[in-house]
Amino acid sequence: MRLNFPLTAATVALTAGLVVAPTATATAAPASPATFNDLAAALSATPKKVDRRVLDSLGAFAPAIIGSMATPGPDGRVNPALFADAHRLGSDPSLSPEVRAVWQQVIDFLGEPGKRKQAAYAAQRYQADRKKKVKPGDPEIPRGPGAPRIQEFLYPTIGIGCMPESATGSLGSLGGGNSLGRALVTAGPQKAPAPGPKRGQIGYVYTSMGTGPAVNNRARPLVAQWLNLDNGRTGIISLRRNPKINATDGPGTFTAIATTGRGRVLSVISGDVTTKTKKKRIVSCGIVPVIGIAYV
């Protein structure tokens, strides 16, 4: 499998015009299985500004994630260099408290706190599966405290020039036609995003706020690259237009379902989004890579 990282070399240049502001705390995840309404609500609760400090610092970690997928460790699992890189980048004394807080989430996820949380998550899922009652023909959707939930990526990102017909874009007076990007995952079994991830799968959702409806573009794809820390699996998948989510009026929303297996999944979404403007113009634009962590 050939792994790539479309925006690695361009990240610094792309972030030059970003608005600098403290990043918002991730929205609390709902306790019930995700529906299309849940996804719409999560995507509409949008921070108004992007923190360039977070993008710059976490952006430096994205190539390490991609590199660890291409070069596994001696045991065939995760390359130990990934953990070393996270600790090195996250311990930079010049980091602001806001950036340091995001790094702490990453370091905890990679280490023992993440392992304990994954074990607790699996135990809750097992108990919920034992208690649920499913009628013949009903969809298999877990209920109770172990039900899967929406898990947002660590921070919002930016699409450069995604709104060329707007002087400001969705980032305010300094946006210059740029679009704020939001990403989340849902752990299966779920109904959303359609057709719904099954057990051992995750559904990716990326929305380019303020844009028109999504358009599929094989030449300039939006991709998710993922690494399961607990089973060593890796993969890359293209996110595409979903006819059930914002397909008519936008904002441009792209989804994909990946078979990751159970465990802690570390992801990077990068590449290009393509949308149709109000004037029926097709626009493709690059996004600054964004990192997410998820329990499956």
- For residue 177 the two structure tokens come to 């036609």
The continuous run of DSSP H or E covering 89 comes out as helix 80-90
pLDDT at 21 over 70: no
pLDDT at 173 over 80: no
The predicted pLDDT at position 9 comes to 34
| Cβ within 8 Å of residue 185, ≥6 positions away | 150, 151, 153, 202, 203, 204, 205, 265, 267, 292, 294
The predicted pLDDT at position 22 comes to 32
The predicted pLDDT at position 70 comes to 84
- For residue 290 the two structure tokens come to 């964004």
In order of 60, 130, 196, the CA distances from 82 in angstroms are 12, 37, 31
The predicted pLDDT at position 150 comes to 87
Mean pLDDT of the region 269-288? 94
Where is pLDDT greater, at 192 or 132? 192
Q: If DSSP codes are grouped into helix, strand and coil, which group holds residue 52?
A: helix
In order of 34, 105, 246, the CA distances from 193 in angstroms are 8, 25, 12
DSSP string across 215-255: ---TTS-EEEEEEETTT--EEEEEEEE-TTSSTTT--EEEE
pLDDT at 290 over 60: yes
Cα 35 to chain centroid, rounded = 17
Share of the chain above pLDDT 90, in %: 56
Picking from 85, 49, 89, the residue whose alpha carbon sits closest to that of residue 68 is 85
Q: If DSSP codes are grouped into helix, strand and coil, which group holds residue 63?
A: helix
Q: Scanning the structure block, which residue is given the tokens 């939006």?
A: 222
Cα–Cα distance for residue pair 283/245, rounded to 1 Å:
19
The predicted pLDDT at position 35 comes to 55
Mean pLDDT of the region 29-50? 54
DSSP 172: G
The predicted pLDDT at position 7 comes to 39
Angle between helices 62-70 and 80-90 (to 10 degrees): 170
pLDDT at 17 over 80: no
Q: Is 228 exposed, middle or buried (0-12, 13-18, 19+ CB in 10 A)?
A: buried
The predicted pLDDT at position 169 comes to 56
Facing residues of 150 across strands? 186
- Split at pLDDT 50, 70, 90, the class of 236 is very high
- Split at pLDDT 50, 70, 90, the class of 77 is confident
The predicted pLDDT at position 69 comes to 87
The predicted pLDDT at position 76 comes to 73
Opening angle at CA 106, ends 104 and 107, nearest 5: 65
- Split at pLDDT 50, 70, 90, the class of 19 is very low
CB 73 within 8 A of CB 229: no
CB 101 within 8 A of CB 55: no
Mean pLDDT of the region 101-113? 94
Of 44-58, 164-178, 224-238, 251-265, least confident by mean pLDDT is 164-178
CB 171 within 8 A of CB 193: no
pLDDT at 43 over 60: no
Mean pLDDT of the region 82-100? 94
The predicted pLDDT at position 51 comes to 84
Q: Is the peptide bond prior to 97 cis by the omega test (within 30 degrees of 0)?
A: no
Question: Mean pLDDT in the chain?
Answer: 79
Q: Which domains does the chain have, with CATH numbers?
A: 48-125+150-295 (2.60.40.10)
Opening angle at CA 149, ends 244 and 208, nearest 5: 45
The predicted pLDDT at position 181 comes to 94
Mean pLDDT of the region 111-121? 88
The predicted pLDDT at position 109 comes to 95
- Split at pLDDT 50, 70, 90, the class of 88 is very high
Quick: pLDDT tens for 133-171.
Answer: 544 433 333 444 444 478 999 999 999 999 887 755 555
The predicted pLDDT at position 167 comes to 58
Q: Is 17 exposed, middle or buried (0-12, 13-18, 19+ CB in 10 A)?
A: middle
